[in-house]
Structures are given as structure tokens and as C-alpha cells.
């Protein structure tokens, strides 16, 4: 019995030494699970083929909510875009950045991926959008189940945010 305990002790000691020796290394090296994807940064969950939609379909999707159609003029309403930027910075940037994915998707280029109606409906009616809209459902999964928050933005301000996105996408 005694020798066994001794052996175990030596083994434990070894473990301790190993830990000490690795102090400088990154902690992720200590866990070796799913080594195939080791080099990838946390891969985004693959979308199910059944809910997959083409880019064309995405642009045709108006979303679900109060906005049935949006009047878009050729140019940018600067004043409206400025207001939109202010509202966006206050109410949205805790989860969205323009140029990279944060909690939610990167917002840059959104006007090229989504219809204006869809964008406004996602802002105004997020609870229903992430439950029923095919893109909304897909994005919820891609965002690690972080729900799109309803920030009680007025229709006018949602339109202004859209204008800010349009301006951003034209200049970037």
C-alpha cells in the first residue's frame, strides 16, 4: 500500500513541476480537444443547409415588421445620416462594430447584403425577426444565441440609421 502512495506522490509532484515549467505558455495549449480545428479561431457554426439562402434571396427578403417599403433616393441625406450615426453609436455599438464581428455581425456592407426594409425591421422588431425570419434565425445561431436587443428605436431613427449605413457603405 505504502509504495503505491509514494508512487502517486511522485506522479503528483511531476504534475506540479510540469505546471510550473509551462508558466509562460498560453493556457489553451493545456487543453487538447478537437485538434483538427486547432488553428482556426473559434469557427462560426456551420449553417444548416435547409435554412441556407442565396445572396439574391437575402436582398429580396423584406423581413417581418412594420416596414413594408422604404423610399430610397439616389443621394445621401447628410443630416439624416448624422442623426443615424449618433443613435447607432448610443444604442447599437455595445454589440455591433462597423468593420468586424462583435456580439452581432459587422455592420459594414449591410446595405449590400440586406434590403432596406429588412434592416429597419430587424431594428424595430428584433424579437420576431430572430424567431421567424430565415436570415434572422440564421444570424442568431451565428451570434452564439446572443439575441438582437430591442432598443425601442423610433421608426424615424431606424430610417436615420439606415441612411448612416448607406453613407458608410458608399464611402468604404
Partner 1 sequence: MKTIQKLLLGLGAGLLLVGCGNNSNDNSSGAMASSNAEQVYVAPGEHDEFYAFMSGGYSGNLTVYGLPSGRMFKEIPVFSQFPTNGYGYSEETKAMLNTSFGFIPWGDSHHPDISQTNGELDGRWIFINENNTPRIARISLTTFETDEIIEIPNSAGNHASSFVTENTEYIVAGTRFAVPNPQKDMPIDDMKGKFKGPLSFISIDQETGRMNLDFQLNMPGFNYDLAHPGRDKSHGWFFFTSYNTEEAHSMLEVNASQNDKDFIAAVNWQKIAEYVENGGGKKVAGTYAHNVFDESTMTATTEMKEGVISVDPREVEGAVFYMPVPKSPHGVDVDPSGQYIIGNGKLSTQLSVYSFEKMMKAIEDKDYDGDAYGIPILSFESVLEGVVDSGGLGPLHTEFDGKGNGYTTFFISSEVVKWKIGTWEVLDRKPTYYSVGHLMIPGGNSRKPYGKYMVSLNKITKDRYLPVGPELEHSAQLYDISGDKMKLIYDFPTHGEPHYAAGIPADKIKSQSKKYYELEENNHEYAVKNEANTRVERNGNEVHVYATTVRSHFAPDNIEGIKVGDKVYFHITNLEQDFDVPHGFAMIGANTSEILIMPGQTKTIVWEPKREGVWPFYCTDFCSALHQEMQGYVRVSAKNSNTKLRWKLDEDWNE
CB-nearer residue toward partner 1: 77 or 151: 151
At 67, list the grid cell.
416596414
130 contacts 141 by C-beta, under 8 angstroms: no
- Residue 132 CA neighbour count, 13 Å, CB half: 13
Q: x/- binding map, residues 31-70, to partner 1, per CB under 8 A?
A: ----------------------------------------
Q: x/- binding map, residues 92-131, to partner 1, per CB under 8 A?
A: -xxx------xx----------------------------
**Is 154 near partner 1 (CB under 8 A)?**
no
Least distance in angstroms from the C-beta of 64 to partner 1: 18
Least distance in angstroms from the C-beta of 56 to partner 1: 32
Q: What is the 3-state secondary structure (H, E, C) of the chain?
A: CHHHHHHHHHHHHHHHHHHHHCCCCCHHHHCCCCHHHCCCCCCCCCCCHHHCCCHHHHHHCCCCCCCCCCCCCCCCCHHHHHHHHHHHHHHCCCCCCCCCCCCCCCCCCHHHHCCHHHHHHHHHCHHHHHHHCHHHHHHHHHCCCCCCCCCCCCHHHHHHHHHHHHHHHHHC
**Is 22 near partner 1 (CB under 8 A)?**
no
**Is 141 near partner 1 (CB under 8 A)?**
no
CB-nearer residue toward partner 1: 9 or 90: 90
CB-nearer residue toward partner 1: 83 or 115: 83
**Is 77 near partner 1 (CB under 8 A)?**
no
CB-nearer residue toward partner 1: 64 or 91: 91
Which residues contact partner 1 by CB under 8 A? 89-91, 93-95, 102-103, 144-147, 149-153
Amino acid at each position: 500500500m505504502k509504495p503505491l502512495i509514494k508512487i502517486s506522490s511522485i506522479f503528483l509532484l511531476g504534475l506540479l513541476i510540469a505546471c510550473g515549467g509551462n508558466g509562460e505558455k498560453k493556457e489553451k495549449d493545456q487543453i487538447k480537444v478537437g485538434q483538427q480545428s486547432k488553428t482556426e479561431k473559434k469557427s462560426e457554426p456551420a449553417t444548416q443547409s435547409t435554412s441556407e439562402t442565396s445572396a439574391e434571396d437575402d436582398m429580396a427578403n423584406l423581413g417581418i415588421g412594420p416596414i413594408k417599403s422604404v423610399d430610397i433616393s439616389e443621394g445621401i441625406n447628410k443630416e439624416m445620416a448624422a442623426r443615424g450615426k449618433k443613435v447607432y453609436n448610443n444604442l447599437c455599438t455595445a454589440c455591433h462594430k462597423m468593420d468586424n464581428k462583435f456580439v452581432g455581425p459587422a455592420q459594414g456592407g449591410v446595405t449590400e447584403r440586406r434590403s432596406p426594409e429588412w434592416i429597419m425591421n430587424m431594428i424595430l422588431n428584433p424579437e420576431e425577426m430572430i424567431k421567424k425570419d430565415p436570415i434572422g434565425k440564421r444570424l442568431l445561431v451565428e451570434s452564439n444565441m446572443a439575441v438582437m436587443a430591442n432598443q425601442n428605436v423610433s421608426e424615424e431613427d431606424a430610417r436615420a440609421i439606415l441612411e448612416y449605413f448607406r453613407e458608410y457603405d458608399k464611402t468604404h
